[in-house]
């Protein structure tokens, strides 16, 4: 998620005659004004003289901020706060994040904020070293005609946008925090805040940690390890952020409450009562078949959000659905189509030759639920191939009109109901990565090619030196409108020497409730955890609250031995990872499985294909009970498996498993 760049001169004082109104984005009223405001407070309240206040404030508070207080770093990871100013800024970041989750249309990085600039209550002449400070920092309240700094008062302009007022009020607490930190800091000797030497765009790993205004080291470490709240309460411009504490805290209208003691009886009026004393429709668990119950705002009724295969007021009616498996094999030029059943083997619907298949070695497949069609995209091995086609379930092909696909190699794809079909690419960009839409949500306004990009995922080797730095062969899967990017393979060249690495990190992009392209573009990738073993060229599938991962696995870098028989998992509830004891067959190659396919049917998980050298005919498909993946996987021979087309070298699979 993106955050607003932060800092401006805001204080709340009794109203006096207005001298001037300032309008501008937050970045236009940046650090000099924040520092001037802190200095103004010191002078106004007779804590320090004018020259002493400005000299000390501009010396102790750095001109470009630290990790969280650097306005030019709102799109980069910031890490642990480096001092108390950073702690205050991190809290402010989280407060403003509530705005991005609100329904305010103009809440973005270009919010225009309006301030009253009050008439000066006093002034002092500028001389000596202070002249350089004033000139180099463009101090707003410097009067060049009289060569003096005028001590102003400030407050928010009431007649401005809702978003502007929200940002303006957020600064009130930030400014107060800065003043309090500085007041404590000047009581210590030799304890100065310092600027990050890595400068703009750095990761701030070398920022010095100072005890600043805290004499207790343990207390300061607690502040630095402060975890930002994960929830927002209220409405603009009076929202508040808070820690949900695994559900022990919640929001009722505008009130944050303890769920172990109280119930929310009416969101519209923020009415709270002791647990069990108010009528809560969802308390009777009316939604069946794993449906999620939501109370109405007045708590007079409820709505059931049903699982995809059920419908009805209480999710009582099962929808007649059909589960399909469609796949293509490397260099086959063919789409194989099957219907999956709970009580029998897959039944083949047909195999369909892709138009111009002689130009396709290894296209990507993804099912578009809104268009009810299989998308066939590009060629994993050929960047110049910009083919983008649709295939109906019956096997009819058509070219995609207005496709936004650029042509890529070594790319992955997935589908998001909220956003559309996405391409993930990390090759040929010298360490950079791209996520972009190629088939948009049809409910959105037309997306232009120049504006199709979402936030970029992280390349684990982006900091390595080298002439090139490619990242690919990661697994990508969508679950509940969250995109998981798992593991991957990277190589880099330096002086014609190639180095390899495989990775185990898991990254997440949350696209839930993305109501527009602009909102989706504010969402940022985060690292959530790591698998036990590095993996690339993997298949990923959801099963019983977990993501199962199968692919090339090994213990270390490229030269390390392959464990290659791992079935790894990520628990979505706890973000914990592990390795199942059950092992899978890796074929004749020590490299093991690479780009296999996976599907679930009849209570079993199936792995098929994915061999780098010719597979053993006795094991073209492997199965294990969904509830016992720890068990030994059973092999199906080419005559036992209903799936066709396997038995050649490089049986790499591109597949789509979907329900209609």
Residues 306 and 351 in one domain: no
Residues 308 and 339 in one domain: no
Residues sharing a CB contact under 8 Å with residue 293, sequence separation 6 or more, in sequence order: 281, 282, 285, 286, 287, 302, 303, 304, 305
Query: Considering 222, 248, 266, which residue would you say is the last residue of a domain?
Result: 222
Q: What is the DSSP letter of 288?
A: -
Domain contains 230: no
266 backbone dihedrals φ, ψ, rounded to 5°: -160, 110
How far is 165 from 76, CA to CA, in rounded Å? Answer: 26
Residues 127 and 114 in one domain: yes
Domain contains 591: yes
Residues 435 and 542 in one domain: yes
Query: Considering 318, 337, 358, which residue would you say is the last residue of a domain?
Result: 318
Residues 343 and 300 in one domain: no
* pLDDT beneath 70: ranges in the chain: 1-19, 25-32, 62-82, 92-111, 117-120, 138, 162-163, 166, 170, 186-230, 235-241, 357-359, 462-468, 493-496, 554-564, 586-592, 611-616, 648-650
Residues 445 and 527 in one domain: yes
Domain contains 187: yes
Q: Where are the beta strands (DSSP E) in 259-346?
A: 262-266, 271-274, 292-295, 302-305, 310-311, 317-318, 323-329, 334-340
Query: Considering 292, 318, 344, which residue would you say is the last residue of a domain?
Result: 318
Q: With beta carbons less than 8 A apart as the criterion, state whether 309 and 317 touch.
A: no
Residues 147 and 273 in one domain: no
Residues 289 and 379 in one domain: no
Phi-psi region of 431 (alpha: psi -120 to 50; beta: other; left: phi over 0): left
Domain contains 5: no
Helix (DSSP H) and strand (DSSP E) numbers for the chain: 7, 41
Residues sharing a CB contact under 8 Å with residue 31, sequence separation 6 or more, in sequence order: 7, 61, 63, 64, 65, 71, 137
Domain range spanning residue 428?
323-659
Residues 634 and 555 in one domain: yes
Q: With beta carbons less than 8 A apart as the criterion, state whether 73 and 203 touch.
A: no
Domain contains 7: no
For residue 73, what pLDDT is reported?
41
Query: In terms of pTM, does the model score above 0.85?
Result: no
Q: Crossing angle, helix 84-100 and helix 162-185, to 10 degrees?
A: 170
Could you give the C-alpha distances from 38 to 11, 53, 127, 188, 223, in angstroms and in order? 9, 9, 20, 18, 22
How far is 297 from 304, CA to CA, in rounded Å? Answer: 14
- Describe the chain by its helix, strand, coil percentages, rounded to 5: 15, 35, 50
Sheet bearing 621-625, strands edge to edge: 597-601, 604-608, 621-625, 634-636
How far is 554 from 607, CA to CA, in rounded Å? Answer: 19
Could you give the C-alpha distances from 530 to 299, 526, 576, 597, 629, in angstroms and in order? 41, 12, 8, 22, 20
Look at the chain and report how many structural domains it folds into: 3
Q: Where are the beta strands (DSSP E) in 426-496?
A: 434-440, 453-454, 468-472, 475-479, 482-494
**CATH number for position 546:** 2.120.10.80
Domain contains 90: yes
Q: With beta carbons less than 8 A apart as the criterion, state whether 139 and 147 touch.
A: no
For residue 509, what pLDDT is reported?
95
CA 165-166-169 angle, to 5 degrees, is 80
Residues sharing a CB contact under 8 Å with residue 19, sequence separation 6 or more, in sequence order: 117, 118, 119, 120, 152
Residues 365 and 249 in one domain: no
**CATH number for position 266:** 2.10.25.10
Residues 171 and 297 in one domain: no
Residues 79 and 95 in one domain: yes
Domain contains 233: no
How far is 352 from 334, CA to CA, in rounded Å? Answer: 5
Domain contains 28: yes
């Amino acid at each position: 998620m993106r955050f607003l760049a932060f800092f401006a001169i805001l204080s709340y004082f009794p109203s006096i005659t207005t001298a001037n109104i300032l309008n501008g984005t937050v970045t236009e009223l940046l650090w000099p004004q924040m520092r001037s405001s802190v200095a103004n407070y010191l002078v106004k309240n007779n804590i320090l003289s004018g020259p002493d206040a400005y000299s000390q404030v501009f010396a102790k508070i750095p001109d470009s901020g630290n990790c969280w207080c650097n306005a030019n770093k709102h799109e980069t990871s910031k890490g642990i706060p480096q001092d108390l100013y950073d702690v205050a800024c991190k809290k402010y970041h989280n407060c403003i994040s509530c705005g991005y989750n609100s329904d305010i249309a103009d809440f973005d990085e270009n919010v225009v904020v309006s301030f009253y600039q009050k008439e000066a209550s006093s002034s002092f002449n500028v001389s000596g070293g202070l002249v350089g400070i004033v000139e180099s920092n463009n101090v707003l309240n410097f009067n060049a005609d009289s060569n003096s700094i005028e001590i102003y008062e400030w407050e928010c302009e009431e007649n401005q946008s809702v978003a502007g007022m929200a940002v303006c009020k957020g600064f009130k607490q930030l400014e107060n925090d800065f003043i309090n930190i500085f007041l404590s800091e000047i009581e210590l000797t030799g304890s100065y805040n310092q600027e990050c030497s890595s400068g703009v765009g750095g990761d701030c790993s070398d920022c010095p940690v100072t005890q600043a205004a805290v004499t207790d080291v343990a207390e300061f470490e607690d502040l630095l390890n402060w975890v930002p709240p994960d929830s927002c309460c209220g409405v603009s411009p009076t929202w508040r952020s808070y820690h949900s504490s695994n559900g022990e805290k919640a929001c009722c209208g505008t009130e944050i409450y303890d769920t172990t003691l109280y119930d929310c009886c009416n969101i519209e009026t923020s009415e709270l009562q002791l647990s069990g004393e108010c009528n809560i429709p969802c308390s009777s668990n009316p939604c069946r078949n794993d449906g999620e119950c939501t109370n109405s705002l007045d708590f007079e009724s409820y709505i059931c959000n049903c699982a995809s295969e059920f419908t009805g007021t209480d999710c009582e009616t099962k929808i007649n659905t059909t589960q399909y498996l469609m796949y293509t094999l490397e260099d086959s030029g063919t789409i194989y189509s099957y219907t999956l059943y709970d009580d029998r083997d897959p039944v083949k619907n047909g195999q369909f030759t892709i138009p111009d298949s002689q130009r396709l070695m290894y296209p990507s497949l993804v099912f578009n639920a809104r268009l009810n069609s299989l998308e066939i995209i590009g060629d994993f091995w050929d960047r110049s191939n910009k083919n983008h086609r649709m295939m109906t379930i019956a096997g009819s092909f058509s070219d995609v009109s207005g496709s936004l696909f650029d042509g890529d190699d070594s790319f992955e794809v997935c589908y998001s109901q909220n956003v559309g079909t996405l391409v993930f690419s990390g090759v040929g960009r010298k360490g950079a990565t791209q996520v972009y839409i190629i088939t948009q949500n049809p409910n959105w306004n037309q997306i232009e090619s120049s504006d199709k990009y979402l936030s970029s995922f992280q390349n684990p080797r982006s900091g390595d030196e080298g002439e090139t730095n490619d990242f690919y062969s990661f697994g990508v899967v969508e679950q509940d409108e969250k995109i998981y990017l798992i593991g991957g393979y990277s190589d880099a060249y330096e002086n014609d020497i190639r180095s390899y690495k495989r990775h185990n990190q898991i990254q997440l992009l949350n696209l839930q409730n993305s109501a527009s392209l602009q909102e989706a573009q504010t969402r940022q990738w985060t690292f959530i955890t790591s698998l036990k073993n590095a993996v690339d060229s993997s298949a990923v599938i959801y099963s019983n609250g977990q993501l199962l991962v199968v692919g090339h696995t090994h213990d270390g870098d490229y030269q390390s031995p392959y464990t290659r028989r791992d079935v790894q998992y990520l628990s979505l509830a706890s973000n914990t990872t592990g390795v199942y004891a059950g092992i899978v067959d890796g074929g004749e190659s020590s490299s093991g499985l690479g780009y296999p396919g996976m599907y679930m049917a009849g209570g079993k998980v199936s792995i098929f294909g994915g061999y780098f050298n010719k597979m053993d005919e006795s094991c073209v498909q492997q199965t294990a009970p969904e509830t016992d993946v720890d068990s030994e996987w059973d092999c199906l021979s080419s005559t036992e498996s209903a799936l066709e087309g396997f038995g050649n070298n490089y049986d790499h699979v591109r597949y789509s498993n979907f329900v209609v």
